[in-house]
Chains A and B, each alone.
Chain A
């Protein structure tokens, strides 16, 4: 598992996490290149299906990064997203995949440091969990012992 580089998909809200990612960049804070950002107008637009599809296509981890509670530009998109993440967690565990592979994170646009730290932490966590068991099959590799 030594050379395993996880693929992480981060659905980032345009109004907070995506801007925070920019901020991290301009602050010259480095974060792992494993994190692939998908910009969304609001985390409320992220459907359960999108998250599950990311895993199906081989992502090792997914997180949804939205605004702090009470700060959603669309009132409660972030609350809805958090519930959908919880639903995906349940679905994953039902098919025997670690539910820790998906998380809901909140931050404000100014939290460049938090963005970088979250990206690093989650990458590390997924690295420890190992590859998405579904991906291994897809790539025709053997499951690591």
Chain B
């Protein structure tokens, strides 16, 4: 999923300070799962913002709505009923959702209430960690299902650096050494030999370095 984290309240308040009526839009997808911008977080933020305004002797009208998917035009269309009643939109979706609202409602200011972080997996209750950088040319088949692009701090593709200590990365004892994980996994699979194959310099064109990316499915695209 795409993970996110609520922005500091101060920053959010600064964004919406000029307004008295806002639409607070959550998303039922990834940000709900990572507890950053689903219905519940929308309710909580709404109350907190209203209280912050009241404290300053002002009132803030908040229309709360959580869309099925904020990155899809058909769901963002649902906001049409409310958009004229508000001065601005505050979105709790990932950056994709915020941008979809900006695209659809050209004259309405929209602000992000969360910082979009990474594509990750749930490690345990309340903990998410990065798994994929979307490099566009998946090499997990070569590395035992563990990604060195996303999980090695130096994106090394040919083994652990000299800072790997007891299975941890040199930057922090809280970070696993990706190459240690890869090596353990290759051993478990009996594929130690695979490690000795050199991974040549990566072609970064399919990744973010090739400019903004797009997928077109000929059989579906209209």
Contact = CB atoms under 8 A, between A and B. Distances in A.
The A interface, classified by DSSP as helix, strand, loop or mixed, is helix
B9 to A, nearest CB: 4
Given A49-B40, A94-B8, A94-B10, A56 B47 contact: yes
A53 B47 contact: yes
B55 A134 contact: yes
Contacts of A32: none
Contacts of A55: 51
Given A95-B55, A137-B57, A56 B43 contact: no
Contacts of B43: 49
A96 B55 contact: yes
Interface string A76-113: 00000000000000010011110000000000000000
Nearest to B50: A56
Contact of B54 (A47, A52, A91, A134): A134
Interface residues of A, number: 16
Contacts of A91: 9, 44, 48
Contacts of B13: 95
A124 B122 CA distance: 43
Place the interface of chain B in its size category. Answer: 10 to 19
Interface of A: 47-49, 52-53, 55-56, 91, 94-97, 133-134, 137-138
Nearest to B10: A94
Contact of B44 (A48, A96, A97): A48
15 contacts: A47-B40, A48-B44, A52-B44, A52-B47, A52-B48, A56-B50, A56-B51, A91-B9, A94-B8, A94-B9, A95-B52, A96-B52, A96-B55, A97-B55, A137-B55
Contacts of A47: 40
B101 to A, nearest CB: 24
Nearest to A137: B54
Interface in B54-73: 54-55, 57
A137 B58 CA distance: 8
Most buried by A among B44, B51, B54, B55: B51
Nearest to A83: B126
